[in-house]
């Protein structure tokens, strides 16, 4: 494997070492060892900036299953590099923050860092994989690892609930996305994203295109908490604050954003893509910002703010899909929306990461996140307050912070929608700037709540569990770095344009973007007046918040999406329980009836539908007297087993069936199989006889056995079906026997003359190994049950 591949899997390898470090070096916080990896990975990926800035990409391939078109192809371009730097850079800061946030005496740190490293590796795999199946594999790893991180405090009911909720919703989306990937493969014959992008004009004409588009978007929307799948994100805030700062501001929730951006060259020529991505995005922006205002938990506010910001980025990517419609290139409409999406993606990671860490500091130092109990903390936490002001004002879109610049570009993209006359945007497109402005007003309000409610006003020490004080220096380093980036990117945004933004935009639109400059003053434009309106109405509504906040109580709780989720889950569990109880009777006979009935139905229907039943007697060998006699012995012995009144008679008849099969192998010139069968039958009969004494007496013959027509029909049906299948399969030879392959290759490839042994040991080596493992596990299980029973007997 190449160094790039090792970089992707290195977090998984490090996760294996963490428990040993935790056990051997308990005096040192495990995070100090973990911190080294994301820092080194960040520096490693940082070196690729020069390559991607020049418009080049790095591709390294390791063959995995080439016959299926599945290879581990790592691909670094402007878009994947941007995400890789966010994953490793923010990851390093989060690990540093967690060293001071999580106590090594009170927490199971080895679990935390193992889960965190698994997540980091999974995210790197998602953003650096060019193969859709490999991407899906890492995608589900993010769901599993985030489930473990959200449920880290598993002793809390809400943590378990939030972890389960995120798992159910995101895995549902992931499976849908896999279906979309398979449809794309059926249309194109490739799993390569770059090859799919080159076939976009052909794919759009395929009948499966729309289905693939919708299924892929389900995966993206569920992962990035788009309406109405956003309900898992607020409950995921039960995770430790470092997890929230990492997963829910900079990485995991951005995976859906990445997927939409990466698949835009494949789907963006469709108007359905534009309307679904932009429409759900702008709706999510409005709904998330509107709901953030009603919450009193600081992490709850930030959770819904994350939902709204993700909707903002998603809507920009949807509008940016117009980049592939060349009528607008001369008007330069195409670049603004996509550039704004990429720029705000970076900005959001900086200001939201710092805000989550601020909330963690408040919780850590006061014992609560409830804004009704907080107040006046500015006097006790001046540095934390400064960081909060920078982060929140940037989130609100106020100058001179980076959030203002990307928010202005967002408004520009929304206003320019009115100039587009494709996909009915000239009519319904007015909804985009309207909802964008309304959502931004509520964004301003919740940003002010995050700053002023806990830090200003009256101090209430009687409501706090701890005496507030400034956080230790180590806990402040990470949020200070992120807040500093907010300021730096605000005053000097163009250090990002040529190095990060333009290469990422080129990867999304497949068009070259050059000389894009970001600056504060654009004159008296509609965007400026929209921003002034946001500030004016935002200040007014924030001031009058107690007077109108009651509108949130007008919608009964039972009509909320969370209520529908909970009731649906409860009803589903009850329904599943009743359904399971209806067919899980506890009787093996019932289960055999289900199995055999389905077997008969599906095989007979297949034979009829495919017209597959054929009888060909031209190649049959002659049947000798010995075969007839042995066959009669087998039939008589089998019937004897069913009607024998003595267990000893049944055992002897069963042995007769086995030995008759051995004689058939001898007649058919398979001495090795005959020997194996003889050994098995001898051991089986001997074991049965040894256990004979311990078996309970036969009781079924005390009463007269009744004839059951249903059982008889099933028995006859199974026998007839298997017979028909055997005759049809022998009579229909679509290809040559595989035995020819083994005859030609057993000696040359494996160096053995006994064909059966070589097949079992070499050609089917893994299969044989797993069979041995299964037998070993079964033996251990039987031994454990016997030991347990003997122990219970001794204990009376």
Give pLDDT tens digits for 623-682.
888 889 999 999 999 888 878 777 788 888 988 999 999 998 888 888 878 888 889 888
Residues 97 and 242 sit within 8 Å (Cβ to Cβ): yes
* Per-residue pLDDT at 695 exceeds 90: no
Strands (E), 489-615: none
* Secondary structure class of 60 (helix, strand, coil): strand
What separation, in Å, do the N-terminal and C-terminal C-alpha atoms of the chain show?
Answer: 60
Residues 526 and 337 sit within 8 Å (Cβ to Cβ): no
Read off the pTM. 0.81
Q: Which two tokens stand for residue 647?
A: 């267990």
- CA dist 156 to 126, 287, 303, 380, Å? 30, 29, 19, 30
Give pLDDT tens digits for 383-413.
999 999 999 999 999 989 999 999 999 998 8
Give pLDDT tens digits for 567-613.
888 898 899 999 888 888 888 888 888 999 999 999 999 888 888 88
Please compute Rg for the chain using Cα positions: 33
- CA dist 68 to 186, 620, 666, 740, Å? 12, 38, 41, 24
- CA dist 269 to 238, 258, 273, 488, 509, Å? 40, 18, 8, 37, 11
pLDDT of the residue at 585 = 84
Give pLDDT tens digits for 8-45.
999 999 999 999 888 888 788 889 999 999 999 999 99
Residues 200 and 284 sit within 8 Å (Cβ to Cβ): no
* Per-residue pLDDT at 330 exceeds 50: no
Question: What kind and span of H or E run contains 716?
Answer: helix 709-731
Q: DSSP state, 462? A: G
- CA dist 597 to 307, 592, 629, 642, 712, Å? 50, 8, 32, 21, 12
Residues 275 and 245 sit within 8 Å (Cβ to Cβ): no
Residue 4 CB neighbour total at 10 angstroms: 18
Q: What's the CA angle centered on 258, arms 527 and 345, to 5 degrees? A: 35
Confidence of residue 423 (pLDDT cuts 50, 70, 90): low
């Amino acid at each position: 494997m190449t160094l790039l591949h090792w970089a992707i899997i290195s977090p998984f390898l490090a996760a294996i070492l963490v428990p040993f470090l935790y056990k051997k070096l308990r005096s040192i916080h495990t995070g100090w060892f973990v911190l080294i990896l994301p820092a080194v990975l960040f520096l490693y990926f940082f070196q690729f900036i020069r390559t991607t800035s020049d418009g080049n990409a790095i591709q390294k391939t390791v063959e995995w299953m080439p016959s299926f078109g599945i290879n581990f192809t790592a691909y670094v371009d402007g878009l994947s590099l941007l995400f890789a730097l966010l994953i490793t850079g923010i990851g390093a800061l989060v690990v540093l923050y967690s060293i001071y946030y999580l106590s090594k005496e009170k927490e199971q740190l080895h679990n935390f860092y193992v889960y965190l490293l698994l997540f980091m590796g999974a995210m790197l795999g998602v953003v650096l994989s060019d193969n859709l199946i490999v991407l899906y594999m890492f995608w589900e790893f993010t769901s599993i690892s985030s489930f473990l991180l959200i449920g880290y405090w598993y002793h809390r009911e809400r943590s378990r609930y939030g972890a389960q909720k995120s798992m159910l919703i995101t895995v549902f989306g992931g499976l849908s996305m896999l279906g979309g990937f398979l449809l794309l493969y059926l249309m194109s014959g490739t799993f390569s994203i770059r090859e799919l992008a080159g076939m976009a004009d052909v794919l759009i004409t395929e009948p499966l295109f729309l289905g693939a588009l919708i299924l892929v978007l389900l995966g993206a929307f569920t992962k990035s908490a788009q309406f109405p799948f956003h309900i898992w994100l607020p409950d995921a805030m039960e995770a430790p604050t470092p997890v929230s700062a990492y997963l829910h501001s900079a990485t995991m929730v951005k995976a859906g954003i990445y997927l939409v951006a990466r698949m835009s060259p494949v789907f963006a020529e469709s108007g359905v893509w534009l309307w679904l991505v932009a429409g759900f995005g702008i709706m999510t922006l409005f709904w998330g910002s509107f709901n953030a205002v009603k919450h009193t938990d600081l992490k709850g506010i930030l959770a819904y703010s994350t939902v709204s910001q993700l909707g903002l980025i998603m809507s920009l990517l949807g509008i940016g899909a117009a980049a592939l419609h060349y009528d607008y290139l001369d008007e330069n409409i195409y670049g603004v929306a996509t550039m704004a999406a990429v720029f705000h993606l970076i900005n959001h990671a900086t200001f939201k990461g710092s805000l989550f860490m601020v909330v963690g500091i408040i919780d850590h130092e006061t014992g609560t996140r409830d804004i009704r109990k907080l107040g006046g903390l500015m006097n006790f936490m001046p540095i934390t307050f400064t960081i909060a002001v920078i982060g929140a004002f940037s989130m609100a879109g106020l100058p001179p912070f980076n959030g203002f610049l990307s928010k202005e570009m967002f408004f520009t993209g929304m206003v320019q929608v009115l100039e587009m006359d494709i996909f009915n945007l000239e009519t319904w497109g007015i909804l985009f700037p309207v909802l964008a402005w309304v959502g931004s007003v509520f964004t301003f309000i919740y940003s002010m709540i995050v700053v002023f409610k806990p830090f200003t006003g009256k101090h209430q020490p009687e409501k706090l569990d701890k005496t507030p004080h400034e956080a230790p220096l180590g806990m402040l380093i990470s949020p200070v770095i992120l807040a500093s980036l907010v300021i730096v990117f605000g005053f000097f945004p163009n250090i990002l344009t040529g190095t990060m933004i333009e290469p990422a935009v080129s990867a999304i639109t497949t068009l070259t973007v050059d000389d894009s400059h970001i600056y504060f003053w654009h004159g008296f434009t509609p965007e400026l007046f929209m921003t002034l309106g946001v500030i004016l109405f935002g200040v007014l509504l924030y001031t009058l918040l107690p007077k109108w906040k009651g509108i949130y109580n007008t919608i009964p709780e039972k009509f909320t999406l969370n209520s529908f989720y909970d009731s649906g889950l409860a009803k589903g569990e009850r329904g599943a329980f009743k359904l399971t109880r209806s067919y899980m009777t506890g009787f093996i006979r019932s289960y055999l009836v289900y199995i055999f009935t389905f077997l008969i139905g599906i095989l007979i229907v297949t034979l009829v539908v495919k017209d597959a039943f054929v009888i060909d007697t031209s190649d049959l060998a002659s049947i000798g007297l010995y075969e007839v006699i042995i066959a009669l012995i087998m039939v008589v012995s089998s019937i004897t087993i069913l009607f024998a009144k003595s267990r000893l008679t049944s055992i002897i008849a069963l042995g007769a069936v086995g030995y008759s099969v051995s004689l058939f192998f001898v007649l058919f010139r398979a001495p090795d199989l005959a020997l194996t069968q003889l050994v098995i039958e001898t051991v089986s009969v001997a074991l049965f006889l040894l256990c004979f004494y311990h078996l309970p007496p036969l009781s079924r013959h005390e009463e007269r056995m009744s004839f059951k027509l249903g059982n008889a029909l099933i028995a006859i049906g199974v026998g007839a079906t298997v017979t028909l299948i055997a005759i049809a399969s022998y009579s229909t030879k679509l290809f040559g026997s595989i035995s020819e392959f083994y005859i030609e290759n057993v000696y040359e490839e494996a160096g053995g003359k006994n064909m059966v042994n070589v097949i079992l040991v070499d050609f089917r080596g893994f299969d044989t190994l797993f069979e041995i493992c299964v037998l070993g596990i079964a033996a251990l299980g039987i031994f454990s049950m016997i030991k347990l029973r003997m122990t219970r007997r001794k204990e009376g």
